[in-house]
Chain A
Amino acid sequence: MRLLQWEALCAIVAFALTETFILVPGPYAMALFTFIAQPLFAIVAIGYLRKVRADLRKRGL
C-alpha cells in the first residue's frame, strides 16, 4: 500500500516551483512559491504527520 503517494506528488510539485523561484527570481516565480509551493509544503507536512500519528496510535504509542 502506497500510503504517502499524494503527499509525495504534492511535494514534487512544490519542490519544482521552489527551484524555479530560486534559479529565476522574479515576481511571478515569487508568487508561485509564496501562494502555491509554501501552502503545498504545509499540506504535505500535515498529511504526513497525520499518518504518522495514526500509525503510532495504531501501535498503541
Chain B
Amino acid sequence: MSADNGSQDRDGEVASGISRREVLLTVGGVAVAVVAGAAIWGGLEFYVNKQHAIGSGLNVTYRQVVMVLGTLACVLGVILSIRTARTRFDDVGTARKDVNFGVARVPALVFARLVALMALIVLPAGAVFLANYHTFEGVHEVRGCASCHVMLPMVNDMRDPGSETLAALHYKNKWIAKDQCYHCHSDYGLGGGLEAKMTGFRHLARYTTSTYQEPIKARVKFDNNNCLTCHEGTPKWVAVESHVESHQELAANKMPCLDCHGEAHPTAAQRTPGSSDYSRLMERMK
C-alpha cells in the first residue's frame, strides 16, 4: 500500500502521486458496494415480507438467501484475502503492468488496492451484515430457541397439549400462528431495545461457556407491552374491569400481567435437574 510509485502512476498524474483514475476507481468501487448492500437488504426484506414465493412454486426463505449470499461473500473474501496476503505492493507498484478486465484496463497497483479494499472492508461488511441478519431473523423461529438445551423445557412444555401454561395455551389454541417464542419475547429481534440485545449476548456467552446453573432465571423484567401489543383494546380485554382500571400501571410495567395470569412456562422447580418433570421437559425435539 505504501509503495511509493508516485510519479510512475499513469493517466492524469497529480503531484501527490495518486492518479485521478485511481481515486475515481476507488470511489466507484465503494459506491458499487453501497448500492449492492442496499440491493441485498431490499431483497432480503422482500423475501421475508412477501411470502417468499417466486414465480409458480419456487419458495425461497430468508435463510436460503442468506446462505447463498453469505457463502458467496465469504468464499470470495477468502480468495481475495489470500491474494492480498501474497501481494507485494512494492513490486506491484514498480511492475507497471495493466490488468485487463475486458471492458477496462487498470494499473496493477490500482487493481491490487481494489482487491485489498474488497477483501478487508467491503466483503467483511457484507458478511457481517448477512450473518447479523441471520442472527436477528433466526431468533424468530422456535427451533432457534430450542437449539440451546436450557430452552428445551420451555419449548417442550409449549408444545405439550396437556400443559396449561400461558405459552402452551397460546400454542395449542393457535392464537399465534408461527414464531411463537418471538411473538411474546420480541425484544430480542432486530427491532428490540439495546438492553434486550445485550441480554441476548450475555445469555449466549453464559451458555457457550457453561457458566450458568439450572434452572435458569430471567434477570430482566418481562415487558408487558409484549402482551398488550395483541391484547390491549380487544373486546375481551376491555370487558375485564381491572384491565381498564390498571391500564396505566400495566403499560408502565409497574404491574406484571403474570401476577394475575399464572405461569407462562414450567416453574423453576419443574426445571430443576432431578425433579420428576425434568427428563420429560428436556427431551430433544425431533
For residue B148, CB closer than 8 A to chain A, the reply is: yes
* Size bracket, chain A contacts: 35 or more
Interface positions, chain A 1-57, Cβ under 8 Å from B, are 1-5, 7-9, 11-12, 14-16, 18-19, 21-23, 25-28, 30-31, 33-35, 37-38, 41, 44-45, 48, 51-52, 54-55
For residue B33, CB closer than 8 A to chain A, the reply is: no
For residue B60, CB closer than 8 A to chain A, the reply is: no
Query: Contact mask B64-80 → A, CB, 8 Å, 1/0?
Result: 00110011001101100
For residue B2, CB closer than 8 A to chain A, the reply is: yes
**Are B134 and A54 neighbours in the complex by a CB distance under 8 Å?**
no
The one of A1, A22, A26, A59 in contact with B16, judged by C-beta atoms closer than 8 angstroms, is A59
Q: How many B residues have CB within 8 A of the partner chain?
A: 46
- Cα–Cα distance between A22 and B137 once the two chains are bound (Å): 12
Which residue numbers of A lie inside 8 Å of B, CB to CB?
A: 1-5, 7-9, 11-12, 14-16, 18-19, 21-23, 25-28, 30-31, 33-35, 37-38, 41, 44-45, 48, 51-52, 54-55, 58-61
Which residue numbers of B lie inside 8 Å of A, CB to CB?
A: 1-4, 6, 16-18, 66-67, 70-71, 74-75, 77-78, 81-82, 84-90, 116, 119-121, 123-124, 127-128, 130-131, 134-135, 138, 144, 147-148, 201, 204-205, 207-208
- 8 A-B pairs (CB sep. < 8 Å): A4-B87, A4-B116, A9-B81, A11-B124, A12-B82, A15-B77, A15-B123, A15-B124
